[in-house]
Structure formats: C-alpha cells, structure tokens
Amino acid sequence: MTDSFENMIGQETAVAALRTAITAPLPAYLFVGPTGCGLRTAATGLAAELLARDSEDPDRDRRLALAEEHPDFILFERHGPALTTEEAREIVRVSMTSPYEGNRKVIFVEDIDLAQGSAPMILKVLEEPPDSTHFILTAQHVPPELATIASRCTTIEFNAINRQELLKLLISSGLGHEHSSVVATAANGSVDRAMLLAADQTALDRWNAWSCLPTDLDGTGSTASAAADKLLAMIDSAAGPLQERHEREREDLNKRAEELGERGLGRRGMEDRHKRELRRLRTDELLMGMTAVGLAIRDGISDGSINPARGSESLSSVIEVSKDLRRNGNERLLLQQLFVNLRP
C-alpha cells in the first residue's frame, strides 16, 4: 500500500493503526512515544492522508501537508517550557473556524504532556470538537493530570526505533560501517536524525568530544564552564547541513511556484518550519551528548577508570538533565551544573 507512512520503519503496529484511522477518521488522536520515534512524521502523514481524503487534487494536498505547508494543517508548538494558556486559547479559537479549502482541517499540538496548566481549555474543545476538525496530539508520556484528555482521544503507541534497524538503513545508504555504528547510536532512535548526522562530516568529532567528558573534567567550575562553551559552539556549527537543506527547499519552492503558478504558497509556513527544525536540532544535539556521556560513563565503570559510586551518581545526573532539556531553555547553565558533577 502506497501512502504517507510507507517510509516509516520499526513502527509496524502504529502504521497499521494509522491506516485504519484513514478509513474511518475520528475526532482526536494521541500519539505517545519517546523522543525521536517518529511522532511528528506520523502526525504529518496522518494529516496528509486526512486532507487528501475526498480531495479533488489529493496529490497536491498530500504534498503540501507533508511539507507542513497546507493551509488546513495547523501546527502548534510550545515556545517555552510548557504550552501556555494563551497558546491553548489560540488552539480553541482556530478549532472553531472553518477550513480554508476542503471540508476538514487538522490541528496538530506537540508536547501535550507539557500543557498541564492549559489542559482544561484544550479538554473543553476535545469534548465537543467541530465536525470539520481533527486533532492530533503528541506526548512522550501521559501524566495523571492529562488522563482525561487522553480518554477523549484514540491513543496510538510508538516505540523507539531499534538501533539495528537504523544501522541496516545507514549501511544500505552507502555510509561506512564505523560511521554508521556511531550514527545509529547517536540518533536515539530517530530516522530523520540519523540521516542528518550521516550527512554531517563533523558528527563524529562532536560525539567524541562528549564521550571524553567523564575523564577530562575535574569537578571545578572553570573547567565545566569551558567545556560547556566549547560544546555549545560545536552545536552552533552543527546547524550547517540542516541550513543547506533549508536552502534547497527554498529553491525547490521557488521553482514549484514558477511552474505551478503558486507563488508565495506555503512560504511563511516553510520558514516557520525551518525555525522549528533548528530549535529541535539543538535539543537533539544535546540529547546526543547525553547519550555519549552516559555510554562513556558505563564503559568507564566497566574498565575500572571511573569509580562505580561516582559513576552511578554521574549517570543519575545525566538522566535528570536529559529530562530537563525539554523544559529548561538555559542550555549553558544546565551543562555547567552537569559538568561540575562529572568526574572520575
């Protein structure tokens, strides 16, 4: 079956549920799974199929939705540690408006698990959704405070992509085995992240820089501060491949506009998406760093170069920082605090 989900790997059960959803669409869906498992890809895929359903030009609607440029595919992302009441109010307002083009629209709300304070407003519209509106919500987990919202949705569970599946995909794309092995680990179960790292010639350097931290740091604030500055600078430079892809997308949009007479269509949406992707890149880079540090600590404990008690404390700190990355915008402070606690 050829559809918007055909390139999703390692999510057979979820894809089967998505294909069922296309045949009999329901008002609201909740996608739950770990970072990098493909929640956003699945959400855009479902939106594309819903908007293409009964469309006079399904290929166009599907293409625009997959590019997150369709006027009836509205995305909401938090711009701070949590989804605010103002953002929730806008979600409610938009849900009550009519579709721009077809007979339905899709509203995508990311990280609903970080919306406890604004959850009551969103719950109200989920309880009585307009006939023309479909909701797709994503979350890493469902805290007790959002159990009522989850009960109003059809939940589809996603798993982290198996490392071996990523490794096989990377090797088949022509990447060397050693490079593929590091990328498959660093990608944290994300296909998109894996392909981006595969095209990045400096990814191995960043991975190695993170991996050396447990033995390079000495517990002093000055060393921790210098290491944080160095790694954040490397993250800044890591945006190069993504920015090059963005430039190609701008060129493709201009070409399509000239060929199809759709000048200006989707430009603002594309630019907004580019900003979102750059923000996600930073979070992904930091999570990659946490993975590298965690593995290095475990290896150090195994070979005796890191004291087991200190290593266990360091691993706990890494886990806590990994959780805080989604909520705390002060990257430098988080890293400094972590690095002070990382020492053999």
What whole-number distance in Å separates Cα of residue 157 and Cα of residue 140?
10
pLDDT at position 264 is 53
What are the boundaries of each domain within the chain?
12-157, 200-341
Contact at 8 Å (CB) between 331 and 297? no
Task: Give 28's DSSP letter.
Answer: E
Q: Which of 295, 289, 337 is nearest to 315 (CA)?
A: 295
pLDDT confidence of residue 1: 45
Q: How far is CA 48 from CA 3, 20, 22, 135, 193, in A?
A: 9, 14, 10, 13, 22
| Helix residue spans in the chain (DSSP H) | 12-23, 39-52, 58-66, 85-95, 119-127, 147-151, 163-172, 177-186, 191-198, 203-211, 213-216, 221-237, 240-260, 267-303, 308-324, 331-341
DSSP 189-249: T-HHHHHHHHT-TTHHHHHHHHHTHHHH--S-HHHHHHHHHHHHHHHHHTTHHHHHHHHHH
Low-confidence spans in the chain with pLDDT less than 70: 1-2, 260-266, 269, 326-329, 344
CA angle 313, 209, 221 (to 5 degrees): 55
Q: What's the pLDDT score for residue 37?
A: 82
Right CATH for 12-157 from 3.30.70.920, 3.40.366.30, 3.40.50.300, 3.40.50.1220: 3.40.50.300
The pLDDT assigned to 326 comes to 66
Q: What is the residue type of 46? A: L
Q: What is the pLDDT of residue 262?
A: 56
Instruction: Give me the pLDDT at residue 189, please.
Output: 80
* Dist CA 69 CA 320 (whole Å): 36
Tokens 């400096």 belong to residue: 202
pTM of the model: 0.71
